[in-house]
Amino acid sequence: MFVSLLLVSGANLAAPLLIGRAIDDGISPRDSAVVFMMVGGLVAR
């Protein structure tokens, strides 16, 4: 149970980082591949 709590906490911390990375590295320079990779990471989580 403790391991699952750590995994959920890690996943919840990763979501805002992925969104920020998608905005900074993908939307600003108009690189759609980065945006698709970050969205795929959020969906897979």
Residues 10-20 have a mean pLDDT of 85
Q: Give the separation between CA 35 and CA 20, rounded to whole angstroms.
A: 10
Q: Is the pLDDT of residue 3 over 80?
A: yes
Residues 14-33 have a mean pLDDT of 82
Handedness of CA 26, 31, 34, 40 (dihedral sign): positive
Residues 14-39 have a mean pLDDT of 82
Nearest residue to 34 via CA among 1, 25, 42, 44: 25
Q: Give the separation between CA 28 and CA 39, rounded to whole angstroms.
A: 16
Residue 5 token pair = 């709590």
Going from N- to C-terminal start, the domains of the chain cover 2-44
Q: Is the pLDDT of residue 1 over 80?
A: yes
Instruction: Tell me, yes or no, if the pTM score tops 0.85.
Output: no
